[in-house]
Amino acid sequence: PVLKTGTIQTAVSISPQNLVDCHRLIQQVTAKLSAIDFVEWRLDAWQVPADLLTAAQLINQIDRPLILTIRTKHDGGQFNGNLATYQTLYQTLIKQHIGQLIDLEWHVPLATRQSLGQLAQTAGYQVILSQHDLVATKPTAILQQELAAMAVEPEIDIVKLATTAQTKNDT
């Protein structure tokens, strides 16, 4: 496994919109590589479908494990596409062996999570399942229940909750 329990690891998120952004961000990441354990490529910002595989090959050359993430508007991202486009983006990059991890969203239909998770695991990827609350932080007992519900899916290796702290107690 690329992500391991009991360790502190730093991920840097990049959100290039085009190849110019891609080159610039790769230079910035490479300059700070000693402080970085993972790179997360936020695909939801990408605006040039014809250049996706070129960008993918460039980003994949960064000497760090790569997490592929498509964050929808529902979860605070920029992705406006439909479910078929969401699936196609992940499938295309997995089939090209870009990255080592994918980050799926909990609100995406179960059948889609299962299909993408199986494809990813078969290709040797770790699969993260994320849930985002952009408004608040629920009580600990509810968060624990949500994590437990997420963790039972066999296609999932890692579960992640991201919440929005409103008070000191939330943190």
List the catalytic residues. Answer: 132, 160
What is the number of other CB atoms lying within 10 angstroms of the CB of residue 83? 12
Q: Could you tell me which residues come within 8 angstroms of residue 159 by beta carbon, excluding any fewer than 6 positions away?
A: 128, 129, 130, 147, 150, 151
For residue 16, give every residue at least 6 positions away whose Cβ sits within 8 Å of its Cβ, in sequence order, or none. Answer: 22, 24, 25, 41, 45, 46, 55, 59
For CA atoms 90, 133, 128, 41, give the dihedral sign: positive
CB 40 within 8 A of CB 14: yes
